[in-house]
Structure 1
Amino acid sequence: MAAGLASALAIVAAGASQARALEPAAPPTKTEPSAAFDWFEYDGADPSDAAFKPTASQYANPILKGTYPDPAVMRVGKDFYYVSSTFAWFPGLPVFHSTDLVHWNQIGNAIDRPGMLDFGRLGLSRAVFAPTLSHRDGVFYILNTCVDCRGNFLITATDPKGPWSDPVWLPAVEGIDPYLFFDDDGSAMIVFNGEPPGPPEYSGHRAIWAIGYDIKARKTVGERKLLLDKGVNPAAKPIWPEGPHILKKDGWYYLIAAEGGTAEGHSQVALRSKSAWGPYVPYPNNPILTQRGLPKDRPLPITSAGHANLVDTPDGKWWATFLAVRPYGDDLYNTGRETFLLPVEWKDGWPIILENGKTIPYVHAKPNLPPTTPKPPPTSGAFKVREAFDGKALPLSWVTMRIPQQKWWRLDGGKLVLSARPETIGGMTQPSFWGRRQQHMNASASTEMRFRPTKAGDKAGLVAVQNDAHFFFLGLTRNADGQDEIVLERRASASDPEGGVKVAGAPVALKAGAPVWLKITARGGAYDFSYALAAGQWKTLKADEDGTILSTKKAGGFVGALLGVYAHADAAPGR
């Protein structure tokens, strides 16, 4: 084992030697206006928060509200670690720590520096898909897929806070959702979703494969082997078996995977074998988790449950994290796919997360585990968070679009200052934007901003964004007549102009250095937009805008809405 540990640590050191903090190249040299944000406040609550209030011995689902999809959880001793998908948002792959499985502190981001990956001009639902976590001999492993940007890779760290190594690419591992399984004898194998063994017989026909992995050589070994074709009931033509994990318990190897796609047909299934390499036999009463087939008119529904990850606790209990969504209408949700937690019951040698026909509870008894310290910021229930920008760095939970190659932001005297650049939201580029997840159906984001446009088209303010073709902008701009105004712009499809269509406007005359206050309020599928020229004196610019354009159903993809700050300088002619 000592030799294995030494080689594993060498792998980490080799990648981490190139690690550096999130510090892109030098700032832009062109003189552009800048926007200064004094603070940013997020406030949210849901109908379920009032209807289902947990007692001191209970926790509330979801445990991580907002777009935290494809959750992977792992235990090392008494500590639990978690990572989830971020697609083309950056920093990517947030890493959390907990000791009670309910409350989570974000301790880092595994993809946190330019040069690790190249997102280019990828759509915001491409890039890094479902990550998985493993641990062996003091080394943490994340396997992940960078979709449309080279494929599957492995990164390592001796401290889950980071730094994480540069990627080791896995050319023999096709498809998505790779997971690294260590057997008791130290051998390793990667399971993943790939193409079927022959021509696809129908749309969504996929398979689960496995291939050996040599940790010391950092490469796959041998030939891949088919573990599951189509799904647990091939006659029913199941779609998208994915997110595979292998766990070992009581002499059995369990293959746990999702089935049915990520929409309302989503589910989790289980198979088992006496060998890690199969053959695997399905549980007779699959799925072990789903919400499909339930009445669509049930109150406060939770839907699309699946992509589960099972973990044991030090006292021998088992729990599962999984994704699901909370729609406010007919499959309409802006908060994305969120992370839920439920206990696992073992019956006759099979793991059951939730019996078929039962609804996912909003509250449940807590695991019998020590509380997480230090006390984490709230990620479930109703809460308010105010960012004063008085630290040395932005919160770990804040993200931007794609990967910045220039340092166009700074924290300065309790303010977040953004350089206004020609790159736009909607332009499939890397704009001057930082934001945080919308975590509630009913939520507001507000800020105090100082900005002075220098030419027509310069703008800065708040943004509610789902992707490049679906967003709102509320802020200060200068129009073609030289008049400064507060405007609301909306982009609801790729056919709309890149910067969006002007929906409403109000002319303003601001003294140099004077602030303006901005607020976006979400009420399910309706969004209100307000501004103030004096603190607390809000004026509604536009109410009841169609916020369903930020829903996954209309915008597509796999992410939820984000709320944040943005600055843009209109490009000079010929630039």
Structure 2
Amino acid sequence: MVLLGASPVAVAQQKQTFQNPILPGFYPDPSICRVGEDYYLISSTFAYFPGVPIFHSKDLVNWKQIGNILNRPEQLNLDGHDVSRGIFAPTISYKDGTFYMVTTLIDKGGNFVVRATNPAGPWSTPHWLPNVNGIDPSLFHDENGKSYIIYNSDAPDNKPQYDGHRTIRMYEFDVKTMKTIGAQHLLVNGGVDISKKPVWIEGPHIYKEKDFYYLMAAEGGTSVNHSEVILRSKSATGPYVPYEKNPILTQRHLPATRPNPVSATGHADLVQTQNGDWWAVFLATRPYDGAGDHYNTGRETFLAPVTWKDNWPIINPDHDLVQYSYPVPNLPAQKKPAFPLSGNFTYREDFKEGTLPMYWLQLRTPRSQWYSLRNPKGKLTLDVRPERFSKKDNPSFIARRQQHVTGSASTQLEFIPQKENEFAGLVAFHNSEHYYALGKTMKGNEPVVQLLDADKKVLAHKALSKKESKNPLFLKIEFNGGAYAFYYATQKGKWQLLKDKVDGEYLSTRVAGGFVGVVLGLYATSNGQPSTNKATFDWFDYTGNDSVFETSTKGQKAYNTTN
């Protein structure tokens, strides 16, 4: 992997401030824990495999992915899942030398816990929790030795008073047997004030601070009305009394037309540093058109300071707007990782490593080995298989997140299609009903470069000469908010525009729905028919350059890294 690092200007700035989001792109539902001077953060992955990336940091700002918690098929069955189903809202905790991750596998088993002594793995196979009926579970380990599992569940007696009426419930949990203990406790009914019909109370966490237990949860749904609320009690099992000035975090009261909006803030988690300071991680979105609420990067992970007032925590206390930059936490300075995760950056994946770097994603659980980095060595070769996006299976598709509003992805393809049904190329993918595929195929007996949408509508195509068809084909997708452009080249660097100003809102969450963001990846399919063909990709380039981040490129240097 070869990449360009941040500019000296950006490095100097980051000595005093850091940039939000700390994990841009599709990294929703963050959960964090501290062990000594080490911080660990995880996020949701829905129907992508491997599941639940885990990151490490010592300064809360510079994060390095150290693994994927659910990286074996026996841990994670995503067969048949829609893209926005699968893994919901994992949380991470630590107790007596062991890490715990608890989450929900929607549609296939419900809630489960895995554990590990090394956060980089390996993690155990799932311990299922049949009594925990709901979503968004988290574990709280009390200082008296007891542990509890808290989660979102149905309305009392499964009789909701209104649409979105949910509850927060709790069981005591035995970390040795990995089972619940005793009776269920109802902690919150509806939300902080059920008379106002609050919706979708979810993502609960409990913290102990001084004499109180604090129950924090999201409320209002995970769109523009998202918020974070807080309640407290003298006992872990309640009763919990809400803070009279809730919510403690939201952006829903702000004008949608504000410049560079941060929206949909919520689903937060708190962490106290070894120096006694408090910080919050939470999801938020970055709409590129204000009131239109269109964003393609999904729900991203932000970081903001927390202060305590009258024994209540307040997130982002000194601002109405969530900031793109805050003073860095009072923690030992950490070297910026060679592989960038935030700010503006450019990198090349050259496939020279023996395994795929851990940030690459597949759609659903792989049941066979259909890609190679060794045949030929130093390139990515995909089997041209019948699986395709329109079916809920595991296609020959390897992707990474789109992390910027503005940027590009490009690749070099070696592929000789044999029939019209064979296709290989570069894809901007949101879900099975919303994607653009740019690649090489046949039209009759003629090789062509072609742009398709999810309905298989041909948006543009260009015939390739006999000579061109035998040479490598270069493909590029440029994105700028709600506009995408698609390019090809038959000679390196000599890009030709295939189609400009393609509707990017079609790939946005507002239009496509669900909980994920756009991923950009490499794809090969024979569209339901048998094939023995292969497609080879020499490299994959990604560039992200958002105006809210430092944009200087002077003095950049190349890094050689391994992940």
Show the counterpart of 1:74: 33
Q: Of the candidates 520, 527, 536, which is equivalent to residue 477 of structure 2?
A: 520
**Contact map agreement 1:44 1:442 (CA 8 A) in 2:** no
Structure 1 equivalent of residue 448 of structure 2: 485
Instruction: Report if the CA contact (8 A) 1:40-1:445 is conserved.
Output: no
Structure 2 match to 1:247 = 207
Q: Structure 1 446/574 Cα, relative in aligned 2: closer, same or farther at 3 Å? A: closer
Q: Is the 8 A contact 2:201 2:218 kept in 1?
A: yes
> For residue 458 of structure 2, what is the aligned residue in structure 1?
502
Instruction: Indicate conservation of the 8 Å contact 1:41/1:445, yes or no.
Output: no
Contact 1:552 1:558 in 2 (8 A): yes
Alignment of 1:131-530 (within 5 A): 131-198=90-157, 199-329=159-289, 330-355=292-317, 358-372=320-334, 375-412=337-374, 413-479=377-443, 481-491=444-454, 496=455, 500-511=456-467, 514-530=471-487
User: How far apart are residue 354 of structure 1 and its match?
Assistant: 2.8
Report the count of equivalent residues. Answer: 525
Q: What secondary structure, in the 3-state scheme, does the structure 1 residue paired with 2:360 have?
A: coil
CA drift at 1:372? 3.4
Contact 2:428 2:519 in 1 (8 A): yes
- In the alignment, which residue of structure 1 is the partner of 2:540? none
User: Are 1:41 and 1:447, in contact at CA under 8 Å, matched by a contact in 2?
Assistant: no
> Which residue in 2 is equivalent to 1:25?
none
**2:502 is the counterpart of 1:545:** yes
What is the alpha-carbon distance in structure 2 between the residues aligned to residue 411 and residue 146 of structure 1? 31
Q: Deviations over 1:146-186 (max 9, x none)?
A: 01111000000110111110000000001101111111121
Render the CA deviation track for 1:202-242: whole Å, top value 9, x for unaligned: 00000000001112222111110100000011111000110
2:42 to 58, 71, 83: 83
What corresponds to 2:548 in structure 1?
none
**Residue 547 of structure 2: aligned partner:** none
Shift of 1:514: 1.8
Which residue is equivalent to 1:560? 517
TM-score after normalising by structure 1: 0.88
Q: Secondary structure at the match of 2:459?
A: strand
Q: Compare 249-258 and 111-120 and name the one that shifted more.
A: 111-120
User: Structure 1, unaligned stretches of length 5 or more?
Assistant: 1-38
- In structure 1, C-alpha distance between the alignment counterparts of 2:57 and 2:382, rounded to whole Å: 33
CA 1:56–1:464: 2 relative to 1, 3 Å: same
Match of 1:569 among 526, 535, 539: 526
The RMSD of aligned alpha carbons is 2.2
The alpha-carbon distance between structure 1 residues 430 and 351, as it changes in their structure 2 partners (threshold 3 A), is same
**2:58 is the counterpart of 1:99:** yes
The whole-number CA distance in structure 1 between the counterparts of 2:3 and 2:506 is 23
Whole-angstrom distance in 1 between the partners of 2:22 and 2:378: 31
SS in 2 for 1:82: strand
CA contact (8 A) 2:51 2:76 kept: no
Contact 1:342 1:353 in 2 (8 A): yes
SS at match of 2:476: strand
Task: Letter of the 1:470 partner, please give it.
Answer: H
Cα distance in 2 for residues equivalent to 1:426 and 1:44:
39
TM-score (norm 2): 0.90
Query: Cα offset for 1:117?
Result: 2.1
Give 2:488's match in structure 1, choosing from 531, 546, 549: 531
**Percent of paired sites with the same residue:** 49
How many Å separate the matches in 1 of 2:432 and 2:528?
A: 19
The CA deviation string for residues 279-311 of structure 1, in whole angstroms up to 9 with x for no partner, is 111111000000001011111111000001000
Distance 2:256 2:404 in 1: 21
SS of the counterpart of 2:82? coil
Report deviation, 1:509: 2.6
Structure 2 CA distance for aligned equivalents of residues 365 and 533 of structure 1? 48
Residues 53-78 of structure 1: CA deviation (Å, up to 9, x unaligned):
94530001111100000000100000
Equivalent position SS for 1:449 = strand
**Counterparts of 2:498 and 2:263, CA distance in 1:** 34
> Counterpart of 2:17?
58
- 1:27 maps to none
Q: Which runs of 4+ in 1 moved over 4 A?
A: 39-45, 510-513
Task: For residues 447-493 of structure 1, give each alpha carbon's deviation from its aligned partner in whole angstroms, at most 9, with x where no partner exists.
Answer: 011011122211100000000110000010012x11100000012xx
- For residues 93 and 110 of structure 1, what CA distance do their matches in structure 2 show? 5
Look up the equivalent residue of 1:452 and give its one-letter code: I
CA contact (8 A) 1:179 1:245 kept: yes
Q: Does the 8 A contact of 2:384 with 2:531 survive in 1?
A: no
The answer to whether the 8 Å contact 2:477/2:485 transfers is yes
The structural deviation recorded for 1:319 is 0.2
User: More deviation in 559-568 or 212-221?
Assistant: 212-221
Question: Could you tell me how far apart the structure 1 residues matched to 2:270 and 2:122 are?
Answer: 26
What is the rounded CA distance, in whole Å, between the counterparts of 1:244 and 1:573 in structure 2?
48
User: How far does residue 373 in structure 1 lie from its aligned partner after superposition?
Assistant: 5.1
CA distance in 2: counterparts of 1:89 and 1:44, whole angstroms: 29
Structure 2 match to 1:3: none
Distance of aligned partners of 1:55 and 1:218 in 2 relative to their CA distance in 1, 3 Å threshold: closer
Aligned AA for 2:255? P
Partner Cα separation in structure 2 for residue 572 and residue 407 of structure 1: 19
Deviation string, structure 1 residues 514-563 (Cα, Å, up to 9, x no partner):
21100001010110000000011000000000011110010000000000
Secondary structure of the structure 2 residue equivalent to 1:271? strand
Structure 2 unaligned residues grouped into runs of 5+: 533-563
Secondary structure of 2:73 counterpart: coil
Please tell me whether the aligned partners of residues 64 and 340 of structure 1 are also in contact (alpha carbons under 8 angstroms): yes
1:431 aligned partner, one-letter code? P
Q: Output the amino acid matched with 1:537.
A: K
Partner Cα distance (1:292, 1:509) in 2: 55
Relative distance call for 1:178 and 1:571 in structure 2 (3 A) is closer
2:557 alignment counterpart: none
Structure 2 CA distance for aligned equivalents of residues 69 and 353 of structure 1:
18
What's the counterpart of residue 537 of structure 2?
none
One-letter amino acid of the counterpart of residue 94, structure 1? P
- Is residue 113–residue 178 contact of structure 2 (8 Å, CA) maintained in 1? no
Matches of 1:165 and 1:155, distance apart in 2: 5
The C-alpha deviation readout for 1:435-457, integer Å capped at 9, x for no partner, is 10000111100001101112221
Cα offsets for 1:309-365 (capped at 9, x unmatched): 000000000000000000012110000000000010001100000359800011110
Give the C-alpha shift of residue 421 in structure 1.
Answer: 0.2
**SS at 1:129's partner residue?**
strand
Give the C-alpha shift of residue 374 in structure 1: 7.2
Match of 1:36 in 2: none
Contact 1:304 1:325 in 2 (8 A): yes
**Equivalents in 2 of 1:60, 1:180: separation in Å?**
30
Distance 1:79 1:510 in 2: 57
